[in-house]
C-alpha cells in the first residue's frame, strides 16, 4: 500500500477499535500526511528512525512549539505501532525517538470580576444578545467545551433535575449540574429569544443563529472575543477561557479536585491537576495582598 492507503487503513482501525471523534481522526490524518509530504519519494512504511528525527528537527527549526512537535511524535508512534502489529513493518522507527521536554502549560483564566463583566456584556434587550448571555451563563456554570455547548440539544437538558447530559470526547457521556441562575437564563431564552430567532422553524439544537441554524464553534469564539473587548478585558483569551475559569474558581472556593475532574470530563486526573497551580498562584496573591507579613 502507498502512504495514502496506509493512513486511511490506520484511521479506520482507530475508529473501529477506539471510536475516536472525527476531530481526533482528522488531527492524526493531518500529521501523517504532513510527514508523508516531507518524506517526498519515500512511502511511510519505509521510513526509518533518521527520517523521524530529521522531520521533528525540521518542525522545531520552523518554529513549531515543543508541545505540537511532541503531539506529532505521539501520532507517529501510534501509527508505526499499528504497522508493526499488522506485520507491515519489521521494526518501529519511533521506538528510540524521545519526545521533546515540555514545560507545564498553565491555561489562561479570568478573575471572577472579569467573568462578571463578560456575562454582563451582551445586550439582552435583543434576541441575539439574550441568546449570547444564556450561552455564556451555561458555559461558565458548567465548564463545557465550546463544541459541547454549541452541540447541545433539548434532549440533553433535564430541567427538573437541573443538569445536562453531555457527550464529550470519545463519545463519553457525563452528567453536569447547572446552577439555578444559568438554568433560569436558558428557560427564559427558550420561551422568548429562541422562538423569535427560529421564526416558526424547527430545530433540535438549543442555541440557534439568526437564520435558525446551529451555532458553530468558530462563530461563538468570535462572539466571546467581541464581548471580552466590549467588557474591557485585555487578557489573552482562548476558546476554553470560561472552561478554565470554571475549574479555577471551583478550586479557589474549595472544590475537590476529583469532582472538578468529573465535571470537566477529564479521563486522567493529571489533566485536571494543572488547575491547582493556578489556584495556588491565586492563593499566594491573596496572601501577599492581605496578610500583614505578606
Q: Which residues are catalytic?
A: 145, 169, 240, 243, 266, 275
Q: With left for phi above 0 and alpha for psi between -120 and 50, is residue 199 left, alpha or beta?
A: left
Helix/strand/coil (H, E, C) string of 185-205?
HHHHHHHCHHHHHHCCCCCCE
Nearest to 82 by CA among 172, 31, 11: 11
**For 127-133, which contacts have Cβ atoms below 8 Å and span 24 or more sequence positions?**
127/192, 127/193, 127/196, 127/197, 127/210, 128/193, 128/197, 128/210, 130/188, 130/189, 130/192, 130/193, 131/189, 131/193, 131/194, 131/197, 131/207, 131/208, 132/223, 132/227, 133/185, 133/189
Q: Dihedrals φ, ψ of 49, to 5°?
A: -65, -30
Residue 57: beta bridge partners?
Answer: none
3-state helix, strand, coil in the chain (%, to 5): 60, 5, 35
Grid cell locating 208: 440557534
Amino acid at each position: 500500500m502507498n502512504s495514502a492507503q496506509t493512513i486511511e487503513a490506520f484511521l479506520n482501525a482507530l475508529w473501529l477499535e477506539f471510536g475516536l471523534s472525527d476531530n481526533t481522526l482528522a488531527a492524526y490524518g493531518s500529521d501523517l500526511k504532513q510527514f508523508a509530504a516531507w518524506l517526498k519519494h519515500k512511502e511511510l512504511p519505509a521510513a526509518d528512525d533518521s527520517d523521524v528525527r530529521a522531520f521533528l528537527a525540521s518542525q522545531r527549526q520552523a518554529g513549531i512549539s515543543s508541545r505540537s512537535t511532541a503531539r506529532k511524535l505521539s501520532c507517529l508512534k501510534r501509527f508505526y505501532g499499528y504497522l508493526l502489529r499488522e506485520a507491515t513493518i519489521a521494526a518501529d522507527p519511533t521506538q528510540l525517538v524521545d519526545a521533546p521536554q515540555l514545560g507545564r502549560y498553565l491555561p489562561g483564566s479570568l478573575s471572577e470580576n472579569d467573568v462578571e463583566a463578560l456575562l454582563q456584556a451582551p445586550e439582552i434587550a435583543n434576541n441575539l444578545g439574550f441568546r449570547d448571555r444564556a450561552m455564556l451563563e451555561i458555559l461558565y456554570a458548567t465548564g463545557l467545551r465550546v463544541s459541547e455547548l454549541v452541540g447541545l440539544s433539548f434532549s440533553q437538558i433535564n430541567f427538573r433535575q437541573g443538569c445536562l447530559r453531555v457527550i464529550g470526547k470519545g463519545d463519553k457521556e457525563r452528567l453536569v449540574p447547572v446552577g439555578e441562575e444559568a438554568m433560569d437564563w436558558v428557560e427564559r431564552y427558550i420561551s422568548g429569544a429562541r422562538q423569535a430567532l427560529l421564526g416558526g422553524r424547527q430545530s433540535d439544537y438549543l442555541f440557534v443563529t439568526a437564520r435558525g441554524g446551529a451555532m458553530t464553534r468558530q462563530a461563538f469564539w468570535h462572539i466571546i472575543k467581541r464581548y471580552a473587548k466590549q467588557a474591557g478585558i485585555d487578557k489573552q483569551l482562548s476558546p476554553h477561557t470560561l472552561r478554565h475559569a470554571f475549574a479555577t474558581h471551583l478550586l479557589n472556593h474549595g472544590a475537590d479536585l476529583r469532582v472538578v475532574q468529573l465535571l470537566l470530563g477529564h479521563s486522567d486526573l493529571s489533566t485536571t491537576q494543572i488547575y491547582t497551580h493556578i489556584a495556588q498562584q491565586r492563593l499566594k496573591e491573596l496572601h501577599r495582598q492581605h496578610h500583614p507579613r505578606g
